[in-house]
């Protein structure tokens, strides 16, 4: 079958579920991943024909896309901060908003150390709830002299994160612990603690798209309505005893609870607190400095 015919089938099968631009993205993502063909291949070779063996993974992916399974899980990979990450059902798919959080951390550290040669080698960073490891790995890649640690309650998620550290050739120390455990003890202090913890309330489930709600791990997504800041409270409490003087705490936040999360840091006497909007205009990132 000709590749352009398969492209037409993608549109016919998916047009009632996704906008055209997204179907475009799915089709070209699949041919790049499975066939190593660039996006412009149909311009240069409009009559390119595939064998049955070459067609098979494309139609298998199409069947899963019809079930609204995210393309990243189908292909087993996602891009974040110009890096490639392995992803599966045990970890969230990295988001553009989280890239902004990482860029904020990197920018602050680079400004802090710009006049002090090799100072980043003394900086210790902890990523809490690392999941795929996208935050920790991206920080290690952009701050190669820093010492980066990553903690998660899920051993299966940590296995993915470890693979991603190897894949991107960075050194990250992984810690299998539960931040909600009141007896959690680490004999380390940090200059930066960063976290994108679970923050979607049960009442917000109706707003969540099927491809997220049905396929991404609920452990990493949802919190009870009665205590939506559960993880923020635990991480803030942890930071009180594990942040060095002048150290900074960074959060990705629920867009509806940014002010409440800010109040939490104020109540614990953090300084220079800043709540930022993401590229979509939502209050999504928070920073506070320990006194």
SS3 assignment, position 230? helix
In the chain, where are the structural domains located?
Answer: 3-67, 88-289
What is the phi/psi pair of residue 115, to 5°?
A: -100, 5
Rounded Cα–Cα distance for residues 257 and 252 (Å): 11
Helix (H) or strand (E) holding 289: strand 283-289
If you search the block for the tokens 């602050």, which residue do you land on?
Answer: 108
Give yes or no for a contact between 34 and 60, defined as CB atoms under 8 angstroms apart. no
Strand partners, 83: 80
Give yes or no for a contact between 127 and 141, defined as CB atoms under 8 angstroms apart. no
User: Under CATH, which number does the domain 88-289 receive?
Assistant: 3.40.50.150
What is the phi/psi pair of residue 281, to 5°?
A: 85, 10
One digit per residue, the tens of pLDDT, for the chain of length 291 reads 999 999 999 999 999 999 999 999 999 999 999 999 998 898 889 899 999 999 999 999 999 999 999 999 999 999 999 999 999 999 999 999 999 999 999 999 999 876 544 455 689 999 999 999 999 999 999 999 999 999 999 999 999 999 999 999 999 999 999 999 988 889 999 999 999 999 999 999 888 888 899 999 999 999 999 999 999 999 999 999 999 999 999 999 999 999 999 999 999 999 999 999 999 999 999 999 998
Strand partners, 151: 128, 175
If you search the block for the tokens 């899980």, which residue do you land on?
Answer: 73
């Amino acid at each position: 079958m000709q590749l352009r015919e398969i492209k037409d089938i993608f549109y016919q099968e998916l047009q009632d579920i996704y906008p055209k631009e997204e179907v475009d993205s799915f089709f070209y993502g699949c041919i790049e991943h499975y066939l190593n063909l660039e996006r412009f291949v149909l311009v240069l070779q409009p009559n390119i024909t595939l064998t049955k063996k070459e067609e098979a993974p494309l139609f298998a992916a199409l069947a899963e896309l019809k079930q609204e399974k995210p393309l990243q899980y189908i292909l087993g990979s996602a891009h974040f901060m110009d890096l490639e990450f392995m992803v599966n059902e045990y970890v969230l798919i990295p988001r553009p908003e989280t890239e902004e959080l990482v860029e904020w951390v990197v920018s602050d550290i680079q400004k802090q150390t710009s006049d002090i040669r090799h100072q980043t080698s003394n900086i210790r960073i902890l990523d809490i709830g690392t999941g795929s490891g996208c935050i920790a790995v991206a920080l290690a890649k952009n701050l190669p002299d820093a010492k980066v640690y990553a903690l998660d309650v899920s051993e299966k998620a940590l296995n993915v994160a470890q693979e991603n550290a190897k894949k991107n050739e960075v050194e990250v120390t992984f810690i299998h612990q539960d931040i909600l455990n009141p007896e959690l003890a680490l004999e380390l202090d940090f200059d930066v603690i960063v976290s994108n913890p679970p923050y979607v309330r049960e009442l917000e489930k109706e707003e969540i798209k099927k491809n997220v709600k049905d396929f991404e791990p609920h452990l990493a997504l949802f919190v009870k309505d009665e205590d939506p800041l559960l993880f923020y409270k635990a991480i803030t409490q942890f930071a009180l005893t594990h942040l060095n003087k002048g150290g900074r705490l960074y959060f990705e936040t629920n867009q509806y609870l940014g002010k409440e999360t800010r109040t939490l840091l104020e109540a614990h006497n953090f300084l220079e607190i800043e709540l930022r909007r993401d590229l979509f205009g939502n209050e999504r990132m928070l920073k506070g400095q320990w006194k």
